Amino acid sequence: MKYTDFKTRSCFLLSFLSLATLISLVLPGKATADGIPWAWGYNMFGQLGNGTTTSRITPAQVSGLTGVTAIAGGSWHTIALKNDGTVWAWGRNDEGQLGDGTTTSRTTPVQVSGLTGVTAIAGGGHHTIALKNDGTVWAWGRNVTGQLGDGTTTSRTTPVQVSGLTGVTSIIAAGGALSLSLKNDGTVWAWGWNYQGMLDGTVNEG
């Protein structure tokens, strides 16, 4: 088995995985028909978005957020896409995964800085990725294994563009420490942690 360090590289073609299998791993969340999101469950970091850190066993409305078309979740943070193309986030923010330029956790939604024209979102363990209507992908949050795809391992508190990746039609997934996307030519691209060959069949045990 070949061992290669993928931590600082941007994008790698996945030619060995079934696309149907990849798509089945993540299904986008939805708000209610009126575009108002509701949440329940564990709430230690405010990831329910209702202004508290009290866990709930019944749904509570996310504070001050309407016009939502899609919802995604990370380990301890939540992301919403609005019908105006803006992205909002709340919950844990120790790695900048909320994208508001700080590392302050939030119990109510804050807008991701400088990001408009977004058509899809996905949440990783401690990072977030977004697809814009021009086919580019943007990412923010933890970047220890290169999961932001900007050619560095520097974590970011605001969005950065994934390097050298255009023509993207959908974000397939954001895993714990890796990211995946589908291009308009039918190829799948991945970046980030490559333990056990998740990216392209070679292995990085680091």
Answer yes or no: are the C-beta atoms of 131 and 173 closer than 8 Å. no
pLDDT at residue 203 is higher than 80: no
pLDDT in tens, 38-57: 999 999 999 999 999 999 99
| Residue 184 confidence class, pLDDT cut points 50, 70, 90 | very high
Instruction: Give the Cα separation of 55 and 38 in Å (integer).
Output: 13
- What does residue 14 show for φ and ψ, rounded to 5 degrees? -95, 105
Spatial contact of 146 and 191, defined as CB atoms under 8 Å apart: yes
Q: What is the fold, at CATH topology level, of the domain defined by 12-197?
A: Methylamine Dehydrogenase; Chain H (2.130.10)
Average pLDDT rounded to a whole number, residues 2-27 = 28
Q: Helices in 58-201 by DSSP H: which ranges?
A: none
pLDDT of residue 141: 95
146-173: average pLDDT:
91
Region 10-29: mean pLDDT is 28
Q: For the chain, what are the domain ranges?
A: 12-197
Could you tell me how many helices (H) and strands (E) the chain has, helices first? 1, 14
Pairing of strands 168-174, 178-183: antiparallel
Determine which helix (DSSP H) or strand (DSSP E) holds 25, and give its type and residue range: helix 19-25
Examine the pLDDT at 180 and tell me if it is beyond 60: yes
